[in-house]
Chains A and B, each alone.
Chain A
């Protein structure tokens, strides 16, 4: 099984997907840049499980911290932490 692609402190961007099936990437957190604050472990990908795939992909899940200003614009002033599977995330160049 491959090592987690991201580490604590990495900046990542969430995908801008709009899949026709269940996903656990909340809409408000799509296409956003955040920071990895924890590598939680590995779980079967919720999207695959919801579609009844017998061999759901097992992926690292990360806690990603977003600034409220990035998500919602000013005035911000808080953080939102969202827990996301690895395939929801892209490298920020």
Chain B
């Protein structure tokens, strides 16, 4: 935990909750440290690496779309380090089809691939509206889609986690994998932006 907020109200509440849970034998310091370590090791840079590899390596792209969990292992990532293994799927944007992710019930999100989720992802406004009027919500993010493009909203309501494979931007034919990865944003991986 960051030391800057140790006396804030939320930090005090968290500390008390930790003490009660540990006191009741429901968890331990070690277990909490493991979870916090897992969460803080996640970063959109991980997802970006997978995307860049898929852009330069068509065979990897096929494997990533066919079985996200197995393809991730090739990059040294895993979706099996949480309390129970999660199924990982990658949904591909095309000129005629755009994908966007949400968890309407809470805030399910592929933390190991994308890091902690942005606060707007957890907001009631985003969760309520994107399933109902995604085109309007995406426009507010600055993403204007062609009127005839199909939009698929993925509500992460069970034990799968998803990532969007954005379209490779025009004019990037000469770029290497690391340069391509640097272009990929967190919003691109959620589907609220193009890359």
Contact = CB atoms under 8 A, between A and B. Distances in A.
Contacts of A61: 158-160
B18 interface: no
A50 to B, nearest CB: 11
Interface in A57-93: 61, 63, 65, 68, 71-72, 77-85
Contact of A40 (B132, B135, B158): B158
A26 B87 contact: no
Given A26-B104, A78-B150, A40 B160 contact: yes
A21 B152 CA distance: 29
Interface residues of A, number: 24
Interface in B136-177: 150-160
Given A26-B105, A41-B87, A72-B132, A82 B150 contact: no
Given A28-B104, A40-B87, A82 B135 contact: no
B153 A81 contact: yes
Nearest to A61: B158
A23 to B, nearest CB: 9
B42 interface: no
A78 B151 contact: yes
Main secondary structure of the interface of A (DSSP, over half): strand
B66 to A, nearest CB: 12
B39 interface: no
For A41, A65, A77, A84, the residue with the greatest tally of chain B CB atoms inside 10 Å of its CB is A77
A24 B151 contact: no
A25 B154 CA distance: 14
B154 A81 contact: yes
Contacts of A79: 150-153
B158 A80 contact: no
Interface of B: 84, 87, 104-105, 131-132, 134-135, 150-160
Given A26-B155, A28-B131, A46-B158, 19 more contacts: A24-B105, A24-B158, A26-B105, A26-B157, A40-B160, A43-B158, A61-B158, A61-B159, A63-B160, A71-B131, A77-B151, A79-B151, A79-B153, A81-B152, A81-B153, A83-B156, A83-B158, A83-B159, A85-B158
